[in-house]
Chain A
Amino acid sequence: MRRREFAVLIGPSLLVMVGLLVLPLVRTIQWSFQEVTYGQVGTFVGLSNYSQALTDPRFGRAVFFTLLLTIVVTSIILVIGYLIAVGVNGLGALRPYILGSMLVAYVLPGVVGAVSFSWLFDSNFGGVLNLAIERLTGREFLWFTDTWPNRAMIIAHTVWHLLPFSVLMILAGLQGVPKELREAATIDGASAWKMHLYVIIPTMRGIIGFVCLITIMDVLRTFDSLIPLSPQADAIGNESIMYYVFDNAFRDGSQQLGLGSAVNVLSILLILICLFPFIRDLLKEAKTKA
């Protein structure tokens, strides 16, 4: 392909991305060094937004909660997602129905899913799950106002929402494992357990890594679902980083845009660190192709 053709084909898309993603991002970085609100020119304040964020105990709690959520949800999703994908892969006629029902949780708009989910647990709205759990355990849980029950509910919701994607991806990966490899392992007398551990999972390293990465990225960004699931997120320490940004930089009455932007920049750094192995692989691959 000639350079000119390349430029014409990619130009419009690039223009939109530079104008609507890169420039806003640059603005965020500028704001993070300023004291500023919307529609005004800010004044440079150096690193004080960053030090304000890093010394704010509320921010610390948000970071702790977000990381906790990310680690727990990602581990659950990888294990359960793999098991389900293996199960679905062995299914016959049932398969499209199972996949179809799972897809519902994935395509349901995030907020809608979270609202529906919260109703299952809310005694004010005749929730059926909280009632069942109460009957089973004989204890009453305050799902919305008590820190740990609320966390459990948020974790359950996040797993519920993100699991179908990982099942789909892992299922696709399982179908890519060469049949000969499995047959060879069976002939060599590998048990099912060993087959998965030493043959199938290593072959699918790339996909499992990808699923892990996407899940981490999605959980780090948790925001929508907390609006219905944790109405008092700040008070009970279940605020995500994005919720903290929203509350400080956008909500009426407290538009500390500089502080919010500084937190945005910090989360970008965190995300880049998570992405690093993936980026390195991609660059390595590019180098061998070049």
Chain B
Amino acid sequence: MMPSTATAPSTEVSSPPTRRRRSRGNRVAAVLLILMALLMLAPFVWTALSVTKPTDVAFANPPVLSGYTPTLEAFKNLWETTYFAQYLVNTAVVALISTVVALVLGVPAAYALSRFPGYVSAILLLLALVFRSLPRFSVVLPMYDISRALGIYDTNFALAAALVAINQPFSIWLLRNFFAEIPKELDEAAMIDGCTRFGTLRRIMIPLMRPGILTAGVFVFLFAFQEYLTALVLTDTASKTVPVFITTQLGQTLPMLQQAGAAAMLLTLPVIAIAFIAQKYLVAGLSDGSVKG
């Protein structure tokens, strides 16, 4: 069914019988895609159900699907009996700071890379790619050692700094592709009109790049917001983040497990909201930027 749908855009050139067959193929494809989308949502929906059940039936086997009163008790417990609020603030602060810093550093660098001709750019870009693919532990374990030596272990600052560095290659890579789409003649025109290089970046490029910068910002924010490994190694109690908190609740008693589920929901909802709002930019950003780069 799939191959026939691909030619849908060109149905206007095909003969009537083919068109009928194609539209049936399209319907089958649509139904399959809806099923698939529901399947993709299943784990999320299941968790949402589990955390809104009363604790005694939340994890009953076989699962209880009806006959209970939905409750937000788990959320209340989470808020009252754990340091969740603090972990959430930590996660948000770290994600926000690291996104802003990553963009402030990354935008000028990406612009320079997209305009400076020749080997230097290519080699730096190559390094960015290699660093993006590194096993995380190969930089995070030394960071742990260094942060202990400097006395900044378990602070939001250390975690944010680590995430800025870890996400920098990807930010540059993505942003550079967006900049590369903007014709160089625009820079030249601006500079003939009396703009300096930095003025061109500030007045012409950044306004033009708003969707691209937004896309990169959303990606970096999402990466930082959900980062587990780095937070696991670089934090202990004071700057623990929500993903780390969730895994420490696993294997505990059922109420605590349900709290973990509630925490998971609270961490996920803003992320989903951001993704939905920025969906247009994400898709457009990916198709205009990173692909053609």
Contact = CB atoms under 8 A, between A and B. Distances in A.
A160 B112 contact: no
Contacts of A31: 142
A94 interface: yes
A215 to B, nearest CB: 12
Interface in A115-132: 115-117, 119-120, 123-129, 131
B137 A264 contact: yes
Contact of A101 (B10, B30, B38, B166): B38
Contacts of B111: 9
Residue with the greatest number of chain B CB neighbours at <10 A, chosen from A9, A223, A260: A9
A49 B154 CA distance: 29
Contacts of A106: 275
B43 A278 contact: no
B9 to A, nearest CB: 7
A223 B44 CA distance: 20
Given A13-B168, A98-B34, A101-B38, A221 B135 contact: yes
Interface string B28-65: 01101110111011111011001000000011111110
Contacts of B115: 1
B288 to A, nearest CB: 8
A123 B61 CA distance: 6
A12 interface: yes
Nearest to B113: A10
B229 interface: yes
B71 interface: no
A13 B172 CA distance: 9
Nearest to B25: A90
Contacts of B140: 24
Contact of B63 (A83, A94, A131): A131
B106 interface: yes
Contacts of B144: 38, 250
A96 to B, nearest CB: 7
Given A131-B63, A207-B291, A282-B122, A109 B228 contact: yes
Given A5-B197, A192-B3, A267-B135, A117 B43 contact: yes
Contact of A286 (B7, B122, B246, B283): B122
Interface string B254-293: 0001001100100110011011100100110011001110
A227 to B, nearest CB: 5
B159 to A, nearest CB: 12
A87 B2 contact: yes
Contact of A116 (B47, B129, B134): B47
Interface string A165-198: 0001101111110010011001100011101100
B165 A16 contact: yes
B188 to A, nearest CB: 11
Contacts of A289: 117-118, 122
A276 to B, nearest CB: 11
B36 A249 contact: no
A13 B105 contact: yes
A157 B244 CA distance: 19
Interface string B111-137: 111011111111111100111111111
Contacts of B2: 83, 86-87
Q: Taking chain B's interface residues, is the majority helix, strand, or loop, or is none over half, making it mixed?
A: helix
Contact of A192 (B6, B32, B126, B139): B6
Contacts of A2: 197
A290 interface: yes
A88 B30 CA distance: 8
B119 to A, nearest CB: 6
Contact of B46 (A6, A24, A116, A221): A116
B47 to A, nearest CB: 4
B268 A227 contact: no
B6 A200 contact: yes
Given A100-B279, A103-B275, A245-B135, A112 B126 contact: no
A231 B247 CA distance: 11
29 contacts: A13-B106, A13-B109, A17-B168, A38-B145, A98-B36, A98-B37, A101-B40, A103-B272, A108-B44, A109-B268, A110-B228, A111-B226, A112-B267, A115-B250, A116-B44, A116-B46, A116-B261, A127-B61, A172-B287, A182-B9, A186-B13, A192-B6, A223-B136, A227-B247, A245-B137, A264-B138, A275-B129, A286-B119, A286-B122
Given A115-B250, A286-B123, 4 more contacts: A13-B109, A27-B142, A104-B44, A105-B40
The 8 closest A-B pairs by CB, nearest first: A286-B122, A109-B226, A172-B287, A20-B165, A90-B5, A24-B142, A13-B109, A192-B3
